[in-house]
Structure 1
Amino acid sequence: MVRWEGANLTSPPSNEPRVTDGRSPLWRGHNVFRVVMFLYACAWVGVQYHEYERSWLAVVVIVLMGLWTAFTVWRYSKPTGRTNLLVALDQVVVTALFMSNEFILTEEQMAASDPTVVTAWHPTMITAAAAQWGMPGGLATGIFAAGCNFLLRWKTSPDMALDTVLLIGVGAVIGIAANSARSTTARLARALRAEAATAERERLARDIHDSVLQVLARVRRRGAELGGEAAELAKLAGEQEIALRALVATTPQEPTENGETDLAARLQVLRTGRIHVSVPGNPVLLEEPLSSELFAVVRESLANVDKHAGPDAQAWVLLEELPDEVVLSVRDDGPGIPEGRLDEAAAEGRLGVAKSIRGRVAGLGGTITLDTEPGEGTEWEIRVPLPVAKPAKRRRGGER
């Protein structure tokens, strides 16, 4: 038996393409916004310097704002610097500097709604939180910032209402953009991995076709001509040739955005000269754990066919997707299973069928039935309910 072990044809290449974080433009915008708002705050401090109750404290706050602006702009300019800890610390520092205006502004300035020392630099904590944590983080930080603004002013007015709407709105809008950028980045990364895996697969397919498949084809033809034991080797070489061709032709599996994989494509890999696979023409997308368990059930059933039905037995795998369940059928033309044989095997401690097949199906909440007669072959029918009923329009009769 010839085996190809030179590469893993079902996995993407190790040198996966690197994808830039889609939120990077938001962070660049945040950095520019923070610098501009710091300069704006400096201008207002210059205008109102002699009107503050404690002008020296205003200067201290401006200096601290400048240092924190420089530090965070430097850190946020690199993806490695955009940590949850730093963004959380950013909220604390900006809030503390903002609340310090309680000791800087006079009562008259508070009543007249004059700009604080921090002024429009305050919302930069919201843009940072929204870029890092998406809409939930941006919305929560906006509400928190609006609450701090109310605690500082301790009054309600049209200006306060407008500030509240703007603070919360900025967090929501930037958060939605961050969520969209994150999901877009994930989709792009999956697409690039699939593209790289396909390119690598095509390269391997060319190499295999020029070497292994040609050798197997030659062994098959020559063995059939010689007859005898060579014919048996030719048969094995033919089976391996079919299996390898099916493996090379199968599209690499990459989970979707929802963590689903195509069970139909996975089953195609099992096709050999003795194993016939029939699946719907459209993808059968299932959650990864469910898809893996069903694939393992089919593989274990086929292993039993190979072990007990004889070297010449043929096997058929049929996959159907119904609106509310998935139906798998594994049939062979072997000698069948005598009545009571499975119970005897379980009593002897041979639990392959009991655990690997029936146990897996039961764990998925499905049912499994056995139809067999001596000399009539064996058929397992597995029915597993879908977590969420899928639209009937996905049910098609086409096969591939």
Structure 2
Amino acid sequence: MVGREECAVTGSQAPSPPPQVADGRTPLWRGHNVFRVVTFLYAAFWFFMSYPSYERPWLAAICFCGMAVWTVFTVWRYWTRAGRTNRLVAADVVVVNGLFLLNEFILTEAQMGSPDPSVVTVWHSTGVTAAAVQWGVKGGLTAGVVAAAANLLVRGRTGSDMALDTLLLVGVGLVIGLNSDTARRSTERLAQALRAEAATAERERLARSIHDSVLQVLARVRRRGSELGGEAAELAELAGEQEIKLRSLIATKPETTEDGETDLAARLQVLRSGRVHVSVPGNPVRLSEQLSSALAAVVREALANVDKHAGEKAQAWVLLEELPDEVVLSVRDDGPGIPAGRLDEAAAEGRMGIAKSIRGRVAELGGKIELDTAPGEGTEWEVRVPRVREPKRRRGGER
């Protein structure tokens, strides 16, 4: 009794949530914060050294105080993941460049034409690093171009030193942006792997529970019903079909890969039952999540039509073929078939199930669909869909 109770408690435990994935860009944000503090200290040194020579020292003091307040505020906000919002980073770029443009009214004409540092100095580039970490290459390049334009506007001249500043500002945005994009993709892939691992663990837990309870009951009902005969035999047949479906569900693992693809073959195997026979390649047929879901929906709709129109005893066969450039799906049954013109009549009467659910989905995927049927010879749907979606070029491919 003790052992059984322990097993029951273990089987009823709630699944543990997948571990949270840390933002892969966090080290870049830490580096940005350190860089901002260091460049502020550098700007502070030159501020006190050059203070007497500024044209408007009082405005320089306001600019320097604004840099200090903004440095403390952004370092505090960027320290946590919740504080790294798009709105704050956009404001960061605006504030940093706005403070830099104040040098137009702070520096003297001689300071403007010389390579002497401004009040903001290299602290100006921290707006570029923030945008690059947050938005990747595009954000880094955009912020770098904006910062370089502000620098040229304030200095009002060109030269080798200005070209070097421009190159450094844009280059910093590019390099850090590339690192940010790589870190973001790594984080997303790690999160997908952890979700897949958690889903697999939950699936195995449910499989053990189903195997120890539901499947045993269904197997017993099937055996006992077959022995009794009569109506009990019908219940046994139904129990046998459900047993096959559950075993197929347990055996298949339609997980999503790092690239967002799923195994269509695994999804179709779940449809196997006593009346539905599924034949798929031995290797996984990995397609995009959207394409895989749409094709699985087409097959389910075709099988629903078999149940509705082919009779309770009709058998159905699902065949999946993977070709280099396309995927071929066929759904065949041994029912009475569809009389000529019946689909057109149904469409005229407003019953658009086949037209919308099957033909419509295939058309959206840029594929082709063929119907082969005749009275007394069953029905076969053959769907051909390109592996790479090309809806505009293949829109007219339906037959």
- TM class, shorter-length: 0.7 to 0.9
Distance apart, 1:16 and its partner CA: 4.5
Q: Which amino acid aligns with 2:103?
A: N
Task: Considering fraction of residues, name the structure with more helix.
Answer: 2
Distance apart, 1:33 and its partner CA: 0.7
Partner of 2:388: 387
Residue 367 of structure 2 corresponds to residue 366 of structure 1? yes
Q: Which amino acid aligns with 1:182?
A: R
Partner of 2:52: 50
1:253 is aligned, of 252, 255, 258, to 255
Where in structure 2 are there 5+ consecutive unaligned residues?
Answer: 1-14, 391-399
Residue 182 of structure 2 corresponds to residue 180 of structure 1? yes
Partner of 1:263: 264
Structure 1 range deviating more: 334-343 or 186-195: 334-343
How far, CA to CA, are the matches of 2:42 and 2:147 in structure 1?
Answer: 19
Partner of 1:88: 90
Instruction: Tell whether the 8 Å contact from 1:194 to 1:252 is kept in structure 2 after alignment.
Output: no
How far, CA to CA, are the matches of 2:335 and 2:342 in structure 1?
Answer: 15
Partner of 2:6: none
Q: Which amino acid aligns with 2:220?
A: R
Partner of 1:97: 99
Indicate how the Cα distance of structure 1 residues 120 and 334 shifts in structure 2: closer, same or farther if over 3 A, else same: same
Percent identity over the alignment is 72
* CA offset digits 1:62-84 (Å, max 9, x no partner): 21111110111111112221112
How far, CA to CA, are the matches of 1:294 and 1:28 in structure 2?
Answer: 46
Partner of 1:125: 127
How far, CA to CA, are the matches of 2:169 and 2:83 in structure 1?
Answer: 25
Instruction: Tell whether the 8 Å contact from 1:22 to 1:185 is kept in structure 2 after alignment.
Output: yes
Indicate how the Cα distance of structure 1 residues 88 and 311 shifts in structure 2: closer, same or farther if over 3 A, else same: same
Q: How many residues align?
A: 376
Partner of 1:289: 290
SS at match of 2:102: helix
Instruction: Tell whether the 8 Å contact from 1:253 to 1:266 is kept in structure 2 after alignment.
Output: no
Q: Which amino acid aligns with 2:268?
A: L
Distance apart, 1:293 and its partner CA: 2.4
SS at match of 1:280: coil
Instruction: Tell whether the 8 Å contact from 2:77 to 2:83 is kept in structure 1 after alignment.
Output: yes
Residue 278 of structure 2 corresponds to residue 280 of structure 1? no
How far, CA to CA, are the matches of 2:170 and 2:299 in structure 1?
Answer: 53
Instruction: Tell whether the 8 Å contact from 1:324 to 1:388 is kept in structure 2 after alignment.
Output: no
Instruction: Tell whether the 8 Å contact from 1:102 to 1:152 is kept in structure 2 after alignment.
Output: yes
Partner of 2:163: 161
Indicate how the Cα distance of structure 1 residues 97 and 351 shifts in structure 2: closer, same or farther if over 3 A, else same: closer
How far, CA to CA, are the matches of 1:145 and 1:336 in structure 2?
Answer: 71
Residues 343-362 of structure 1 correspond to what in structure 2 (within 5 A)? 343-362=344-363
Q: Which amino acid aligns with 2:156?
A: W
TM-score by length of 1: 0.87
Partner of 2:154: 152
Indicate how the Cα distance of structure 1 residues 157 and 349 shifts in structure 2: closer, same or farther if over 3 A, else same: closer
Q: Which amino acid aligns with 2:57?
A: S
Partner of 2:115: 113
Partner of 2:394: none
Instruction: Tell whether the 8 Å contact from 1:279 to 1:320 is kept in structure 2 after alignment.
Output: yes
Instruction: Tell whether the 8 Å contact from 1:198 to 1:252 is kept in structure 2 after alignment.
Output: no
Structure 1 range deviating more: 20-29 or 65-74: 20-29
TM-score by length of 2: 0.88
Residues 166-245 of structure 1 correspond to what in structure 2 (within 5 A)? 166-245=168-247
How far, CA to CA, are the matches of 1:79 and 1:333 in structure 2?
Answer: 59
Which structure is richer in relative contact order (CA contacts within 8 A, separation 6 or more)? 1
SS at match of 2:382: strand
* CA offset digits 1:179-218 (Å, max 9, x no partner): 1111111111111111111111111111111110111111
Partner of 1:298: 299
RMSD across aligned positions (CA)? 2.1
